[in-house]
Structure formats: structure tokens, C-alpha cells
Amino acid sequence: MARAFLLVLDSVGCGGAPDAADFGDAGANTLGHIAIACREGRAEEGRSGPLHLPNLAALGLGRAIHAASGLDLPELDAPLTGVWAAATEVSRGKDTPSGHWELAGVPVPWDWHYFPRTDPAIPPEVTESLIARAGLPGTLCNAHSSGMPVLRAFGEAHIASGKPILYTSADSVLQIAAHETHFGLDRLYEVCRIAAEIVHPMRVGRVIARPFVGETAESFRRTANRRDLAIPPPEPTILDRVQAARGQTHAIGKIGDIFAHRGLSTLAKGKDDMALLDATLAAIDTAGDGDLVFANYVDFDTLWGHPRDVSGYARALEAFDARLPEVTRRLRPGDLLIITADHGNDPTWVGTDHTRERVPVLVAAPGLAPGGAGLVGFADVAETVAAHLGIPAGRHGRDFLGHKA
């Protein structure tokens, strides 16, 4: 019996990307800089002391960071119980779809469209078409921004005017924020659907609905009803390939949105990463022979990376690590667990955007001899899963276990 579990810690990069300078990210290292900040006493809010990740360290996290970036972190050294690697991305983007698609075996074959750092950033041909087709009184912001600052700046004006808030980032994305009750959640989703029809032909990767509640700048908060409308991958991913082999695919978190809800058998969501981990455990308990569980834990990225909150990011890593034994204890003979990431989001870095980095790849499986696979490619993750499940190989990677699990 063969089952596979692919867990993506969103934005938990480990530095060292060979093309980081092309993205303005030379020297960025999400895990490395968090560990250094903790060691130096600069991440003491809600936690204290060196970064404590004993379970991830035992799977080779410290070794993966060293292989990726040359950084030695003694606090992440531990007797090895798994197989580690560090993965390099070839897709020309440091965004969520690029990373996940390539991890799923499909590097992005085109250049995404990015809105320029101008004011406005979103051009009139987009906003005017959206206003006309969606029957809107207008739009607000239309510039580069991030989640909570844009709500504090424009939320009250949105409630008063009925104009949704449009903004973008360094990613290929159009985000639309609106109040769940004053504007209406279903109306927001419909506006985003129309926006996707407008910008997807431009190769804008995602339109994201960002609903929020509250009545004042001080009380606004985003809700769990986010919805991503993504361009579908250009060829079959590991999700499609598992289904073609008659396996079931169990998506956790925003995996459905990232893959345009293609190749999914079941989908579970949760209000935060701990709820998503609960959903992952439930999926592991019920997954059958030939099945793939594919999970994304987004809070690392959205709650701590983008706001540049080092302490919060460290707390989230330690909380995940503390619960990791709940996952590994469920592994049965024939199971393969891979823990990885899709890009970086160094909370010590300038700005608020993702950072171009290599990512750790940590493998656990009953009977797997501990060791290191060195530097691999993102697409190698999918091919390792495919080899483990005994399904045909794809076109873009290799089984880096060769196949030992």
C-alpha cells in the first residue's frame, strides 16, 4: 500500500537561490534570518530564546539550510531521522502559483504579468472594464499595497462609497477587498469572477477576493472567506496524474484555489494553520492506497512574512514543529511524507513581498534510511511522489530518492 503526503509551509524558504539578485533578493534567507534573530534576542514577543524546531531539525532542516545558502545554524542540528534536500525553482516568479505548480511537476512556461509600481498601478483598461461590467460606482486604491495597511487606509471610504478596494503586489496578482456585509460576500466573489475574465488573458496569475469585517480602521480584520481565482496549470500536475491512476487527491487549505480546482477529489479548509493541520491529520487517517494528500499552510506567509513579524513567524514555526509528531506517528509502511515550501518571505527583509529563495525538502517514511539528497529541483518533488505511488513519470523532474521509500 502506497500513500503520499505533501505538506507546503507557505514561504518557509532557506536562502541561496542562484538568481535571487534578479529579483532584488540577494542574501534573503527566511529560516536563516529568523534563527539568527531568535539567537540574538530579537524575536522575544510571545516566545523566547533560540529557535526551537527539534522535529524539523531531526528531518534535516539545518542541513538543508546549509546546502541552500551555506549558513550553519547549530540550534537546528540534530541526529538525523529523515532524508533532506534543498530545492531550486526554475519558474520565473517567486509567487504562490509558480512555486506550487512546479512542486506539482509543472514549471511555469511563460512570464507572468506584473502591475508596475506606479500610481495607479492597475491601468484604466482594467478598472474601467470592471466598473462597467460589475456595475460598480468606482474603485479605490489601485496601487501596490498589502493587506491590513490597505484596509486601514481605504476601508472606511469603501463602506461609505460602495467602491471595492483594488490593489496588487510584487506577485502577479489583483486583490479585491470588500466588506462582507456592507458590500456582500457573494457580490465580492462575482466582482472577482469578472475581474479574472479581464486580467487572466493578460497572464495575471490570480485574482484574490479579500473579504473583511469591522466598522473602523482600528477594528477591521480580514476573514477566512478568501477566495483565489487562478489561471489553470498548462499541463497535468501530480494531482491530475494521481487521479488518472485512479488514486484520490485530498487538498487542504488553498490548494484548490492554486490549481483552479483541477485534479481534486476532496477539499478541506480551516480558519488557521492549526485547523488546517487538524484537517491534514483527518485526511491521513482516511487516505487509501494510491492517494495523495496535498496541504498548504498559509499563515507563515500572510500573517508573519508579509507584515515582517519575526517573532510571529518564529512562534508559528515552533507551533508547527510541536505538532509534527502527530503527523509522523500516523505514517504506516508504504507512506511517504514530504515537507517543503513554495518560495521565501524573509520577515527581516525590506518591503513586504515574497523573497526568491531555495526551499527545504524534508522526507520521512517508515524504513527510510536517513541521509541527504543535496540540491534538487522543485519538480523533483512531484516525480518523487509519482515514483513512490507507482504512476508514470512526468516531463520535468526526477525521483531524488531513487526510489528508496
User: CATH number, domain at 220?
Assistant: 3.30.70.1250
Determine the straight-line distance between the first and last CA of the chain, rounded to whole angstroms.
Answer: 12
Report yes or no on 369 lying in a domain.
Answer: yes
Question: How does strand 227-230 pair with strand 221-222?
Answer: unpaired
> Does 379 share its domain with 263?
yes
> Does 208 share its domain with 342?
no
Report yes or no on 17 lying in a domain.
Answer: yes
Residues 65, 53: Cα–Cα separation, whole Å: 13
The pLDDT score that the predictor gives to residue 352 is: 87
CB 355 within 8 A of CB 69: no
Which domain-ending residue is among 207, 230, 253?
Answer: 230
> Does 261 share its domain with 368?
yes
Report yes or no on 402 lying in a domain.
Answer: no
The pLDDT score that the predictor gives to residue 403 is: 77
> Does 191 share its domain with 312?
no
In 139-181 the beta strands, taken as DSSP E runs, fall at 140-144, 165-168, 173-179
What is the Cβ-side half-sphere exposure of residue 110, based on CA atoms within 13 angstroms? Answer: 16
Burial of 367 (0-12, 13-18, 19+ CB in 10 A): exposed
> Does 71 share its domain with 154?
no
Binding-site residue ranges: 10, 301, 306, 342-343, 354
> Does 168 share its domain with 201?
yes
Report yes or no on 114 lying in a domain.
Answer: no
| Host H or E run for residue 387 | helix 378-389
Report yes or no on 185 lying in a domain.
Answer: yes
Which domain-ending residue is among 230, 257, 272?
Answer: 230
Alpha-helical (H) ranges within 200-309 are: 238-244, 255-258, 273-286, 299
**Total tally of structural domains belonging to the chain:** 2
CB 263 within 8 A of CB 243: yes
Task: Map residue 180 onto helix, strand or coil.
Answer: helix
Q: What is the pLDDT along the chain (405 residues), one digit of tens a residue?
A: 899 999 999 999 999 999 999 999 999 999 999 999 999 999 999 999 999 999 999 999 999 999 999 999 999 999 999 999 999 999 988 989 999 999 999 999 988 999 999 999 999 999 999 999 999 999 999 999 988 899 999 999 999 999 999 999 888 999 999 999 999 999 999 999 999 999 999 999 999 999 999 999 999 999 989 999 989 999 999 999 999 999 999 999 999 999 999 999 999 999 999 999 999 999 999 999 999 999 999 999 999 999 999 999 999 999 999 999 999 999 999 999 999 999 999 999 998 889 999 999 999 999 999 999 999 999 999 999 999 999 999 999 999 998 766
Give me the sign of the Cα torsion angle 51, 315, 5, 287. positive
Of 170, 171, 177, 213, the C-alpha closest to 192 is 177
The pLDDT score that the predictor gives to residue 404 is: 67
Torsion, CA 398, CA 63, CA 61, CA 346, rounded to 10: -90
- Residue 19 in grid coordinates: 538568481
> Does 88 share its domain with 130?
no
Report yes or no on 403 lying in a domain.
Answer: no
Residues 229, 373: Cα–Cα separation, whole Å: 35
> Does 141 share its domain with 101?
no
> Does 192 share its domain with 262?
no
User: CATH number, domain at 322?
Assistant: 3.40.720.10
Task: Map residue 250 onto helix, strand or coil.
Answer: strand
Task: Map residue 97 onto helix, strand or coil.
Answer: helix
Binding-site residue ranges for Mn(2+): 10, 301, 306, 342-343, 354
| Host H or E run for residue 113 | none
Which domain-ending residue is among 203, 230, 257?
Answer: 230
Domain that holds residue 145: 124-230
Report yes or no on 97 lying in a domain.
Answer: yes
> Does 260 share its domain with 381?
yes
> Does 102 share its domain with 8?
yes
In this prediction the pTM is 0.89
CB 20 within 8 A of CB 357: yes
> Does 262 share its domain with 342?
yes
Of 97, 36, 105, 62, the C-alpha closest to 360 is 62
Report yes or no on 118 lying in a domain.
Answer: no
